[in-house]
C-alpha cells in the first residue's frame, strides 16, 4: 500500500496496480484494511471496480498502457544496458498489458 501511495506522488512509479494488489491481499486478510483502500476518495472506486468486477474504463486502459510502455521503453533505452534487466522489464510489461487488456471495459 505504501508503494501504491508513492506511485500517486512520483512520476514513473505506477500507483493503481499496487493499490489493487494491496486491496486484493487485504480482501483475504483484513476487512478493515480492504475498506480503507476501496473507500478512499481518490483511488478507491477504480480499485474496487477492478477487484470486484474485473472492470477498467477504456480511457483508463489507454492511459495505463501508454504510460506503462513509455516507462518501459525509457527504462530499456536509458536506464540499464544489461540484457537480463531489459528482458525482465519487457516480460513484465507484456504481462501487465495482458492483465489490463483482459479486464472488461
Instruction: List the chain domain ranges.
Output: 1-53, 55-105
Q: pLDDT over 90 for what percent of the chain?
A: 9
Alpha-carbon torsion, ordered 3, 6, 10, 11, to 10 deg: 50
- Residue 89's pLDDT is what? 82
- pLDDT exceeds cutoff 90 at 10: no
- pLDDT exceeds cutoff 80 at 14: no
Grid cell 516507462 in the structure block, residue = 71
Q: pLDDT over 70 for what percent of the chain?
A: 96
Task: Name the more confident of 31 and 59.
Answer: 59
Amino acid at each position: 500500500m505504501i508503494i501504491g501511495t508513492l506511485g500517486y506522488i512520483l512520476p514513473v512509479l505506477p500507483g493503481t496496480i499496487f493499490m489493487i494488489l494491496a486491496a486484493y491481499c487485504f480482501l483475504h486478510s483484513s476487512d478493515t484494511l480492504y475498506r480503507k483502500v476501496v473507500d478512499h476518495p481518490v483511488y478507491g472506486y477504480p480499485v474496487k471496480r477492478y477487484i470486484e468486477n474485473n472492470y477498467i474504463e477504456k480511457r483508463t486502459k489507454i492511459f495505463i498502457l501508454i504510460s506503462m510502455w513509455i516507462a518501459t521503453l525509457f527504462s530499456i533505452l536509458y536506464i540499464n544496458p544489461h540484457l537480463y534487466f531489459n528482458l525482465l522489464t519487457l516480460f513484465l510489461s507484456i504481462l501487465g498489458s495482458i492483465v489490463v487488456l483482459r479486464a472488461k471495459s
